[in-house]
Amino acid sequence: MKTLSTTMLKTKKFIYPLLLVLLLSFGAFLLFFQLPQRGIIAYDEARHGVNAYEMLQRDDWLVPTYMGEVDYWNLKPPLSQWAIMLGFKIFGYNNLGFRFQSAFATLVMLAVVALWTKKRHGSLASLISLCFLLANFVFYKTHSGRTSDADALFYLFATMGFLFMLDSRRNIRYLYGTALCFGIAFMAKSFHALFIPLACFLYLLLTGEIRKLTWKDYLLIPVLALLPIIPWAIARYQFDGARFFTSMIQTDVLARMTDEIEGKEGLWYYYFYRLATNPTVVVAGLLFAVGLGMKLSKVNRPTPEQTGLMLWMAVPVIVFSFSSFKLHHYIFTSMTGMAVAAGWTVSFLWQGARRGLLLTLTLVCAAGLLVQQMVSNVQMIRSESDWGSYQEALVDMLDRDIDSGVTVYIQYNDSRSTWSQAHVLCAEMAGDVICKNGGVEAFEQEEEDALLVVDKACFDYTMLEYYPLYYESTYLIVLEN
């Protein structure tokens, strides 16, 4: 009997690591499957990529440029560009090297949440929290783990900052970790990170933990928060004075507080709508509400950790709801908190004395939804392999060994001759070329070696009498001078 009991105990200890590895492997699949084949998105992702590529070519780790000019459009600190540059150095100038930093950061976030929840609430809570993150599609679409902008790094360090905050009830010095994570998160997304210290301050105030702070804590916490920021800020100021920082404040703070974008995204309830239409979030929220209600039926007030979880979920949503400029990914950090809360809730309910048929059926239905959402995520990433005709043609026609340093113009139609951000990145990675705007007119005046990319729908075939054909695809014709 003793031998059987020992065997069962060993088996139980083996099950959690096995399931954890399997779930993290599934997460790696969601993040890396067909990642190089997915077309580059012509907005934040492409802009960060061009910045990083040109910084690496100049061996300049301070000042991002776009098409050779100092970039005052992307006004974030350069942490994401540094990460992309590292990916280029490891994997080369391709989409895997470009996107590796986001996929890897998200995978690390999954592991951090799972391991922290295991340490605080046990194996079941750990696996449930991880499943909620794997089931939530937002982490595998745009502005997250499968696109290379600043967001995935931001989610990772914001999540770590909140976890340190929750641990500060055991040792107030864990707030040092929150402060440092805030500084790193700021280096990724600038003023977007300000909700982290706001939530932390409210947590300390509401839980009474603020009374534990000493003069040393009041000194070290701001120092650690500014430690990642100040060296970069000083170096950047040496380059162009206050211009970058003035633009950053005007765009990331003032403009976003007052400028609306089209449709429902300007409405005050936009983020609540996004949460209410996300099945994984709805289930996590309902479970947490039930668990918290049952907990509060026994005690008069939530624990510090439950208070922290509520702030983690609520503060980003409330803060960004005050802004007229609303984008769905601004509140993804709240969804990470919801996954942690759901893990705690399921573990609490399953181990509680009130477990019965209704609770069992509820949890089974929730598990079924998570599985369905995971399957849906697999189907989603399997369909994301469309490069687009221009991106495919640029990669196919350009060769870094042959075309490096050549100027390339583009003409999309009769009135558009300005490069798409995604096409700039494709051309730079594939051929190390110099992209310039101006189209046919600028190409005809170019005295140095140059190429002209023209859409066949607007191509004047008489140009073949003056310029030799360099490349032709189904949609494009490329001439050389």
Q: What is the per-residue pLDDT across 173-197, written as a single tens digit (0 to 9) for each?
A: 999 999 999 999 999 999 999 999 9
Q: Which helix (H) or strand (E) holds 65?
A: strand 65-66
pTM of the model: 0.94
Q: How far apart are CA 51 and CA 41, in angstroms?
A: 15
Q: How far apart are CA 236 and CA 233, in angstroms?
A: 5
Q: Are 74 and 47 in contact, with CB atoms under 8 Å apart?
A: yes
pLDDT confidence tier of residue 9, bands split at 50, 70 and 90: low
pLDDT of 264 over the 50 cut: no
Nearest to 117 by CA among 128, 106, 133: 128
Q: How far apart are CA 133 and CA 428, in angstroms?
A: 35
Phi, psi of 284 (to 5 degrees): -60, -45
Nearest to 169 by CA among 300, 292, 304: 304
Average predicted confidence (pLDDT) for the chain: 91
Average pLDDT on 104-109 reads 98
pLDDT of 89 over the 70 cut: yes
Q: What is the pLDDT of residues 357-373, one digit of tens each?
A: 777 787 888 889 999 99
For tokens 């079941």, name the residue. Answer: 124
